[in-house]
Structure 1
Amino acid sequence: MSSNAAQAQSSTSSRIIRVSSSLNPIDFAPFGEVVENPETHGGRGKVQKVEANQGSATKWLDVSHLENWYTLAPSRKAAKAVMNMFVCKPRKLEVKDGREVFPVNILERHPFTPQTFIPMGVGPDDKDVRYLVIVAPTLKTTKRESNDLNKPYPAEKPKPNRKSLKEKLLGARPNPFTNDFEATTTPSMLSLGPGRRPKGPGAPDLDNIQAFIARGDQAVTYGPGTWHAPMVVLGSKPIDFVVVQYANGVGLEDCQELYIKEALNIDVDESAIKASAPGIMRAKL
């Protein structure tokens, strides 16, 4: 979401796409991360926990990651962490072949930053509030391809991150609050899972677009460069999202938009909404 985004167009034949599943960390891993309480979501994922606040709280470690890849941007302009709020109204659905669908006319990506959407004031049992997470894989490209969308992106096969001795020493400072050693620099791309790596300059793979139904007690992190639709709120009430990301103010490097000439239609029927209900979702695991 950006008012200063670069734009392009793509064409596809109009078709209806079924919702892949309720939002969960395993299925969503290629595109980013899901932030949820494992104890109320069937213990999914590999998140570790410790006791905190004198035993009065459970602390889940590293539930999502906010890495800054703007050192790879052509402008070399430094980015800062920003926290905005989007008040997202319910989106209008259309009827196709007797089913309610959401038409996807635009996708966007943020090449050098993850983007985390955190819903506020919405509980897991609020059946009138859900949101739709729509993502697409990134197509591989060749060096011969030329497109304005290619310009702000790093190479798809990054070179190994060679650090000086000083950088290695500074990258392993102890945390003053826990005495745990933690990295203070951006990790090497090659050491990260696919959901946390910049995705490269390719266009979205519209043949493999996926959609997930999310509950109000789930936040979502789009990985850097992940093609996704602007937030789609279902139900009858708006959702306030706090959105956390990096940005440097250079439109082409912060956000790009791609318009789809013939809309892709996401099938949003009652069965998809019910499948995201707490009891049913855990029973299907």
Structure 2
Amino acid sequence: MTHSIKIQALSIEGFAPFGEVICTTGHDFFHINDAHTERYHALVETEISGDAVAGISIFRNIKTTELPFTISMLERHPNGSQAFIPMQAQAFLVVVAPALDDHSPDLTQLCAFITDGSQGVNYRAGTWHHPLLTLEAPSSFAVIDRIGIGHNCDVFQFPTPIYISN
């Protein structure tokens, strides 16, 4: 039997167990540059373990996700956080699960979120998540994550697919 998850709107509170929402709404700011700019300071702290640095890359999705859909895997990065910031104000889907143990996600607590196009996300180190799922293509994202040596990507294949719907 296929398990089913409903997509919910991404919020700071709802996403808190998995990481941070990168946005201006709901965060404090202060003025800089002669009060021409609002600075939303240190919304996320990049986590990095081992012989590595923080790097900024661009991921460009060229394939769209049609609703509803199924997923059959999650991945995690145990030695560093990973932030995704949309560059074209396009909504995207976020599917996450907490760790059950050192090797697998807790699929009974799987959550699916949709961003509003102005929000990015930062997955904490070790957070199980699905790779990018975009509703439009192409979609480009600035990605801030760990660049370094050593293993930093675990993949978990589900015994049966999970259905995601709106």
TM-score where L is the length of structure 1: 0.55
Is residue 118 of structure 2 the alignment partner of residue 220 of structure 1?
Answer: no
CA–CA distance in structure 1, aligned partners of residues 22 and 148 of structure 2:
25
Task: Kindly state the Cα deviation for residue 107 of structure 1 after the two structures are TM-superposed.
Answer: 0.4
State the 4+ residue runs in structure 1 displaced beyond 4 angstroms. none
TM-aligned CA distance change 1:108 to 1:49, over 3 Å:
same
Task: Kindly state the Cα deviation for residue 213 of structure 1 after the two structures are TM-superposed.
Answer: 0.5
CA–CA distance in structure 2, aligned partners of residues 243 and 84 of structure 1:
5
Is residue 138 of structure 2 the alignment partner of residue 241 of structure 1?
Answer: no
Q: What is the match of residue 16 of structure 1? A: 4
1:105 is paired with a residue whose SS is: strand
Q: What is the match of residue 158 of structure 2? A: 260
CA–CA distance in structure 2, aligned partners of residues 49 and 130 of structure 1:
24
Cα deviation code 1:233-264 (max 9, x no counterpart): 01x432101111113232xx211111123210
Q: What is the match of residue 139 of structure 1? A: 100
CA–CA distance in structure 1, aligned partners of residues 139 and 116 of structure 2:
11
1:257 is paired with a residue whose SS is: strand
Is residue 35 of structure 2 the alignment partner of residue 62 of structure 1?
Answer: no
CA–CA distance in structure 2, aligned partners of residues 267 and 207 of structure 1:
16
Count of aligned positions? 166
Contact 2:85 2:120 in 1 (8 A): yes
Contact 1:247 1:254 in 2 (8 A): no
Is residue 1 of structure 2 the alignment partner of residue 28 of structure 1?
Answer: no
Structure 1 unaligned blocks of 5 or more: 1-12, 39-43, 71-77, 94-99, 123-128, 141-200, 269-285
Give aligned-pair identity as a percent.
31
Q: What is the match of residue 205 of structure 1? A: 106
Higher helix share: 1
CA–CA distance in structure 2, aligned partners of residues 48 and 264 of structure 1:
37
Structure 2 unaligned blocks of 5 or more: none
Write the letter of the residue equivalent to 1:133.
Answer: V
Q: What is the match of residue 5 of structure 1? A: none
- Aligned-residue CA RMSD in angstroms? 1.6
1:254 is paired with a residue whose SS is: coil
Q: What is the match of residue 104 of structure 1? A: 71
CA–CA distance in structure 1, aligned partners of residues 18 and 75 of structure 2:
13
TM-aligned CA distance change 1:92 to 1:254, over 3 Å:
same
Task: Kindly state the Cα deviation for residue 121 of structure 1 after the two structures are TM-superposed.
Answer: 2.4
Task: Kindly state the Cα deviation for residue 15 of structure 1 after the two structures are TM-superposed.
Answer: 2.0
